[in-house]
Amino acid sequence: MLSGFTQAALDLLFPALCPLCQTTLGADRRDPLCGSCWHAITRLGRPRCHVCGAAPPLAMTVDDASAPAVPARPCPTCVADPPPYDYARSAAIFEGALREALHAFKFSGKRALARPLGDLAAEHCVATLVEKIEAVVPVPLAREREHERGFNQAELLARRVARRLGVPARPRWLVRVRATRPQSDLAAAERRANVRGAFRAGPDVGS
Ligand SMILES: [Zn+2]
Ligand SMILES: [Zn+2]
């Protein structure tokens, strides 16, 4: 951690620019994001469904602190067609500043974005989790793709989230059985088919 003075001196010599809007970071900065890009992310409010975690944007809800963080009932969609997972949570809407930040993180090698993006997940999802977390396990990237990119973005995010939650990150607990097509090219149903059976528990699970 740099002291405030060192940070200020460095900023004077090499002003840090936000990778999204290219302006100096300014007040409320969440390095490497500037304060305005950080605040421009549309956070989600409390989930209305304890399974899929569907939630309205935070700005559109009156956050009632007395309401339970985890709703008791699943939504009609999850009742009619229960998803194969126990539950899911989302921190924010994939649009605008968040979409740009994720693209810069994944495709332009801006690894430092793992910090604010991991913090976003930790700050907005933890209160609504159903159980206590024991470890954070990232989805492994295909070896060639990790080699090309130089890092697995899911692992960087998992490490940040794990650190914020005070639990271990376990990147070897899940292993990839086969390569898959990039999910970003596919529609929802194709995404599910694309990754079906592509992963299994690793030999180190539990250690
Ligand atoms: Zn910015
Ligand atoms: Zn649901």
Query: Which ligand lies nearest the alpha carbon of 75?
Result: 2
Region 31-42: mean pLDDT is: 95
Please state at what angle helix 114-125 crosses helix 153-165, rounded to 10 degrees: 50
- Ligand closest to the CA atom of residue 52: 2
Q: How far is the CA of 140 from the centre of ligand 1 (A)?
A: 29
Average pLDDT on 59-69 reads 64
Q: Which ligand is nearest to the CA of 55?
A: 2
Q: Which ligand is nearest to the CA of 85?
A: 2
165-199 confidence digits (pLDDT tens): 999 999 999 999 988 888 878 888 898 888 888 99
Residue percentage of the chain with pLDDT more than 90: 48
Output 65 or 97, whichever has higher pLDDT.
97
Measured in Å, residue 118 CA sits from the centre of ligand 1 at 17
Given a cut of 80, whether residue 71 has pLDDT beyond it is no
Looking at the chain, the whole-number percentage of residues with pLDDT higher than 70 is 89
3-state secondary structure 47-108: CCCCCCCCCCEHHHCCCCCCCCCCCCCCCHHHHHCCCCCCCCCCCECCCHHHHHHHHHHHHC
Where is pLDDT greater, at 105 or 69? 105
Q: Determine the distance separating the centroid of ligand 1 and the alpha carbon of 85, expressed in angstroms.
A: 35
The Å distance, Cα 22 to ligand 1 centre, comes to: 6
Question: Does position 68 have pLDDT exceeding 80, yes or no?
Answer: no
Please give the Cα distance from 115 to 136 (Å, whole number): 15
Q: How far does the centroid of ligand 2 lie from the alpha carbon of residue 54, in Å?
A: 6
The ligand that comes nearest to the alpha carbon of residue 88 is 2
Q: Indicate the range of 41-50, 59-68, 124-133, 187-196 predicted with least confidence.
A: 59-68
Question: Residue 59's pLDDT is what?
Answer: 73
pLDDT in tens, 124-180: 877 777 778 899 999 998 888 888 888 899 999 999 999 999 999 999 999 999 888
pLDDT at 6: 78
Q: Residue 89 CA: which ligand is closest?
A: 2
